[in-house]
Amino acid sequence: MRSMLKTTLVALATTAMIAMPAMAASLTGDLKIFLDTSDPDPRAAMEGMIDRFQKLNPDLKIETTIIDHEAYKTQIRNFLTANAPDVATWYAANRMKPYVDAGLFDDISDVWEDEVFKTKLGPSKAAVTLDGKQWGVPYTFYQWGIYYRKDIYEQLGISEPKDFAEMKSNCQKILDSGKKCYTIGTKFLWTAAGWFDYMNMRTNGFQFHIDLLGGKVAWTDDRVKATFANWRELIDMGAYVDNHTSYSWQEALPFMVKGEAAAYLMGNFAVPPLRDGGLDDSKLDFYQFPTITPGVTVGEDAPMDTFHIPAQAKNKENARAFLKYVVDAENQTIVNKTLQQLPVNADSAVADDKFLLEGLPMLNAADGVAQFFDRDAPAEMAKLAMDGFQKFMVKPDALDSILNQLERGRKRIYK
* pLDDT tens for each residue of 13-62: 333 333 344 445 789 999 999 999 999 999 999 999 999 999 999 999 99
Q: Do 377 and 200 meet the contact criterion of CB atoms below 8 Å apart?
A: no
Listed in sequence order, the residues at least 6 apart from 106 whose beta carbon sits closer than 8 Å to its beta carbon are 135, 308, 309, 310, 311, 313, 316
| Three-state DSSP string of 273-337 | HHHHCCCCCCCEEEECCCECCCCCCCEEECCEEEEECECCCCCHHHHHHHHHHHCCHHHHHHHHH
Q: pLDDT-derived band of residue 4, with 50, 70 and 90 as boundaries?
A: very low
Q: What confidence score (pLDDT) does residue 313 get?
A: 98
Q: pLDDT-derived band of residue 404, with 50, 70 and 90 as boundaries?
A: very high
Euclidean distance between CA atoms 337 and 43, whole angstroms: 13
Q: What confidence score (pLDDT) does residue 353 get?
A: 93
Q: What confidence score (pLDDT) does residue 415 get?
A: 82
Euclidean distance between CA atoms 233 and 239, whole angstroms: 9
Q: What confidence score (pLDDT) does residue 13 get?
A: 36
| Number of Cβ within a 10 Å radius of residue 40 | 12
Q: What confidence score (pLDDT) does residue 6 get?
A: 35
| Number of Cβ within a 10 Å radius of residue 107 | 15
Q: pLDDT-derived band of residue 255, with 50, 70 and 90 as boundaries?
A: very high
Please compute the mean of the pLDDT values over residues 118-140 and round it to a whole number: 92
Q: pLDDT-derived band of residue 364, with 50, 70 and 90 as boundaries?
A: confident
Please compute the mean of the pLDDT values over residues 133-145 and round it to a whole number: 96
Q: What confidence score (pLDDT) does residue 21 get?
A: 45
Q: Do 200 and 208 meet the contact criterion of CB atoms below 8 Å apart?
A: yes
pLDDT tens per residue, range 300-332: 999 999 999 999 999 999 999 999 999 999 999
Q: What confidence score (pLDDT) does residue 123 get?
A: 77
Q: Which residue has the higher pLDDT, 387 or 93?
A: 387
Nearest to 327 by CA among 317, 337, 335: 335
Whether residue 10 is predicted with pLDDT greater than 70 in this model: the reply is no
Please compute the mean of the pLDDT values over residues 89-110 and round it to a whole number: 94
| Residue type (1 letter), 22 | A
pLDDT tens per residue, range 212-244: 999 999 999 999 999 999 999 999 999 999 999
Question: Residue 377 carries which DSSP code?
Answer: S
Please compute the mean of the pLDDT values over residues 59-88 and round it to a whole number: 95
The full set of domains in the chain, from first to last, is 4-141+302-370 (3.40.190.10), 144-299+378-413 (3.40.190.10)
Give the 3-state secondary structure of residue 175.
helix
Please compute the mean of the pLDDT values over residues 332-359 and round it to a whole number: 94
Q: Do 354 and 165 meet the contact criterion of CB atoms below 8 Å apart?
A: no
Q: What confidence score (pLDDT) does residue 93 get?
A: 86
φ and ψ of 397, to 5 deg: -70, -15
Q: pLDDT-derived band of residue 126, with 50, 70 and 90 as boundaries?
A: confident
Q: Do 122 and 300 meet the contact criterion of CB atoms below 8 Å apart?
A: no
Q: What confidence score (pLDDT) does residue 238 get?
A: 98
Whether residue 167 is predicted with pLDDT greater than 90 in this model: the reply is yes
Nearest to 200 by CA among 190, 185, 210: 210
